[in-house]
Structure 1
Amino acid sequence: MTNQSAYTVLFSAGESSGDQHAANMFLELKKRCPAMRGIGMGCSKMRQAGIDVRYDSAGIGVIGLVEILKHYGEIRRALNLLKQIIRDEKPDLLVCVDYKEFNLRLARFAKSQGVKVLFYVSPQVWAWRPGRVKTYGKAIDMMAVIFPFETRYYEAENVPVRYVGHPSVDKVHPQRSRSEDFELFGLDPNRPVVGILPGSRGNEIKRILPVMLAAAAILAAQRPELQFVLPQADSISDAALAAHFGNTSLAVKVIKQQPYDVIQCCDAVMTTSGTASLEIALLGVPMVIVYRLAAFSYWLGKRLVKIPFIGLPNIIAGKAIVKELIQEQLTPESLAAEILQLLGDGEYRQRCISALQAVKHQLGEGGGSKNMAQLALEMLGGA
């Protein structure tokens, strides 16, 4: 590849998972082209990968209409800054990572400025608003999808698309053995471990963590031998967690920057929906998926979404292999009851583990970050 030093890639990642995907992709790009320059919006993982982060997206990773309206001013400022970067610095390629509506607007602007657009992680057109395929097709040069069944939606509308594999398949690997982690984290290998994953967004912590902690208190009262761990997301501050732990005497080990090692120590996990649920599935740990939105956001979502599940393991499997507790179904009692069944009912537990193994098999061998880097280089080479 010639003229490598001339290439600048602008990344736009508005959420924790997108921050990780962009970082992994850029690291693969740098292996092939050491002089490649990355700039954009993201968080700590992108910074660690060597991307010049111009806007920290930690405060704008929200879901739901009500939540987005509350953060509208900040989201608007981020969009305007990235537009200014496109105008002033003319990057060779814009890589939009997830964060759908924001990145659609940014992609349209980039296209109007003559900048090529690669969109990474398709909007869930198979779940709701399939007409968005045409909308995105007009704003991008290539759609990179992470589930094999997604390609047909774009091919049907003649939108350039490529299946690159799910990035989680590559990155979800513990650094150590389970026994080593038990020793490192100060856990007793003879006592069951329950994982608490309240999400990577501030509004998730506020809505969901109190319910999880209340459920954990019920579990601790019924089974005092249980141990509780919480892998803290990079996007969640110590203060955000401390505000909730001040209301409980429950012993929970909070562990930073080692989510997969923490999860592999768990016998059961309570988790928010989203990428985390898929990562837990790849590690083969039984779980219960929970979520809670503002009432109006949930009401609106129920009328738009056309699939019966919100958890990725269930969506991929096409059936309920993992219990979902959403909105009013999510109570400390219902959450504790499901964890107790996963821990105490051997047949129920094994069915869940076998189903999760099947989901992992469906996702294939991975290579998503490498495939994305190759795709980006092809688009840059054709500039």
Structure 2
Amino acid sequence: MSLRVGMVAGEPSGDLLAARIIRGISRHDTQSLCQGIGGPAMAKQGFEAWKPMDALTVFGYVDALKRMPNLLSTYFNVKKRWLSDKPDVFVGIDAPDFNLRLELQLKQAGVPTVHFVGPSIWAWRYERINKIRQAVSHMLVLFPFEVEIYQKEGVPVTYVGHPLAEIIPMQPDKTAARRYLGVDPNARVLALMPGSRASEIKLLGPRFLQAAQILLKQDPDLQVLVPMVNPARRKEFQVLLDQYPIPSCRIIEQTGEQSPLVTPAPLQTGSFQGQAQENAAASIDFKERPAAWNVMEAADAVLVASGTATLEAALFKRPMVISYVLSPMMKRMMEWKSGQARPYVPWVGLPNVLARDFVVPELLQDDATPQALAEASWKALTDASYARQVSERFTQIHESLWRNTPELAAQAIVQQAR
């Protein structure tokens, strides 16, 4: 009898993570059936989508409130289906507000539940561990420091590494990326990455562009590359670029089908820079990768909004300046929901959290002035000794995150279903 796996992924990043898990499960059981809520990458691996992941994708609290009726309808629909026809195991990928509620109901009904990508309880709202303990049979985590947290709290846990560490090359090829993008191999290049949400573009875009204008006064030949996740974000950014013109600025959009789902060679223990990882990296075509990856690989430094992009920039070994700005209303809502004015840890950016150190600067809220952003970016662009030190620290992070994630995750999931 084939293995039936319920799955819910609510964002593009979760779609990519889940697709790799599905591939790993199919290696254990070629007749396995994975079904539920997911996206196009999961569909390519044979996933049966009851609803598209767009049903769960929201951007911020305001959007969540507007879409609450549809979110509730989706929740009750899939819960009813799985309670009446129970899967062998359920896997929730990220989306904790939705998945933890669903996992609690399914676990109480006797369905083993696995949650992949632990909520950042180490930074915000640690009390969520109580809900996790009740709802989750087994937790799969991306970062090694999370294991101790869940073990201490009595939650079964497996560290599976971060899938991005398998895909992004251990040694980036700046020359090849610039050749693909048509960038002068000898130019000084800054990547501007103000975020993928409209609110981020609105709040960070002007500051980033004004910082770039200051940098251009120091180096008139500076090249500025800005990756945009979709036409809507590009349109919003273009309005800002018209207000704060940068003659050398190029907006880079996705040109091909984003599918960075390479099949890495088997992991060789103790050989993080060996042939297996090089083969994985070499099998990715530039046109198939996220535009942001090509831009980061081509850049000398990155000015970036806090989020997953900071980890990607670290894996590309690029010195960066991390920034973020919340509107007063969003800041109040976040403080109200979490009961905190700031994270438990002193860092916001993932690279610094993983290093347990301020490897790269973080300029947040009122500190994110154009002048401060420009000064920090200039150091990242021009200080070769500093860039080497940052690269060495990021290489250590890359090595710590690189595991055979699909296999490790699949093993834990299949074991729960037995």
* Both structures adopt the same fold (TM-score exceeding 0.5): yes
Tell me which amino acid in the other structure corresponds to 1:368.
Answer: T
Preserved contact between residue 59 and residue 202 of structure 1 (Cα < 8 Å): no
Change (3 A) 1:352 1:173: closer
Aligned partner of 1:244 in structure 2 is 237
Q: Which stretch shows the higher mean deviation, 70-79 or 370-379?
A: 70-79
TM-score normalized by the length of structure 2: 0.80
1:17-38 CA distances to partner (integer Å, 9 max, x unpaired)? 2222111111222233332222
Name which of 247, 254, 264 aligns with 2:252.
Answer: 254
Where 1:153 maps in the other structure, the secondary structure is helix
CA displacement at 1:64 relative to structure 2: 5.4
Preserved contact between residue 195 and residue 229 of structure 1 (Cα < 8 Å): yes
Preserved contact between residue 229 and residue 255 of structure 1 (Cα < 8 Å): no
State how far apart, in whole Å, the 2-side matches of 1:309 and 1:335 are: 17
Preserved contact between residue 321 and residue 376 of structure 2 (Cα < 8 Å): yes
Aligned partner of 2:270 in structure 1 is none
Preserved contact between residue 147 and residue 158 of structure 2 (Cα < 8 Å): yes
Where 1:173 maps in the other structure, the secondary structure is coil
Change (3 A) 1:74 1:295: farther
CA displacement at 1:57 relative to structure 2: 3.6
Aligned partner of 2:341 in structure 1 is 303
Is the aligned partner of 1:109 residue 2:142?
no
Name which of 274, 279, 282 aligns with 2:315.
Answer: 282
1:329-348 CA distances to partner (integer Å, 9 max, x unpaired)? 22333322221121123333
Aligned partner of 1:131 in structure 2 is 127
CA displacement at 1:79 relative to structure 2: 2.5
Preserved contact between residue 16 and residue 58 of structure 1 (Cα < 8 Å): no
Name which of 266, 271, 282 aligns with 2:304.
Answer: 271
State how far apart, in whole Å, the 2-side matches of 1:355 and 1:43 are: 34
Aligned partner of 1:371 in structure 2 is 408
Change (3 A) 1:130 1:222: same
Preserved contact between residue 129 and residue 304 of structure 1 (Cα < 8 Å): no
Alignment of 1:1-383 (within 5 A): 3-4=1-2, 7-58=3-54, 60-62=56-58, 65=61, 68-87=64-83, 89-173=85-169, 177-233=173-229, 237-248=230-241, 249-250=245-246, 251-256=249-254, 257=258, 258-259=289-290, 260-299=293-332, 300=335, 302-303=340-341, 305-363=343-401, 365-380=402-417, 382=418
CA displacement at 1:210 relative to structure 2: 4.0
State how far apart, in whole Å, the 1-side matches of 2:59 and 2:350 are: 16
Where 2:313 maps in the other structure, the secondary structure is helix
State how far apart, in whole Å, the 1-side matches of 2:52 and 2:406 are: 22
State how far apart, in whole Å, the 2-side matches of 1:85 and 1:221 are: 61
State how far apart, in whole Å, the 2-side matches of 1:176 and 1:61 are: 32
State how far apart, in whole Å, the 2-side matches of 1:340 and 1:359 are: 24
State how far apart, in whole Å, the 2-side matches of 1:330 and 1:21 are: 32
Q: How many residues align?
A: 373
State how far apart, in whole Å, the 2-side matches of 1:204 and 1:93 are: 37
CA displacement at 1:282 relative to structure 2: 1.5
Task: Extract structure 1 runs of 4+ deviating beyond 6 A.
Answer: none
Tell me which amino acid in the other structure corresponds to 2:413.
Answer: A
CA displacement at 1:324 relative to structure 2: 1.0
Preserved contact between residue 93 and residue 118 of structure 1 (Cα < 8 Å): yes
Tell me which amino acid in the other structure corresponds to 1:126.
Answer: W
Preserved contact between residue 174 and residue 261 of structure 1 (Cα < 8 Å): no
State how far apart, in whole Å, the 2-side matches of 1:146 and 1:207 are: 29
Preserved contact between residue 255 and residue 262 of structure 1 (Cα < 8 Å): no
Q: Which stretch shows the higher mean deviation, 125-134 or 98-107?
A: 125-134
CA displacement at 1:351 relative to structure 2: 3.1
Change (3 A) 1:290 1:76: farther
State how far apart, in whole Å, the 2-side matches of 1:294 and 1:247 are: 18
Where 2:341 maps in the other structure, the secondary structure is helix
Change (3 A) 1:49 1:173: farther
TM-score normalized by the length of structure 1: 0.86
Preserved contact between residue 269 and residue 288 of structure 1 (Cα < 8 Å): yes
Tell me which amino acid in the other structure corresponds to 1:295.
Answer: P
Tell me which amino acid in the other structure corresponds to 2:251.
Answer: K
Mark the runs of 5 or more structure 2 residues left unpaired by the alignment. Answer: 259-288
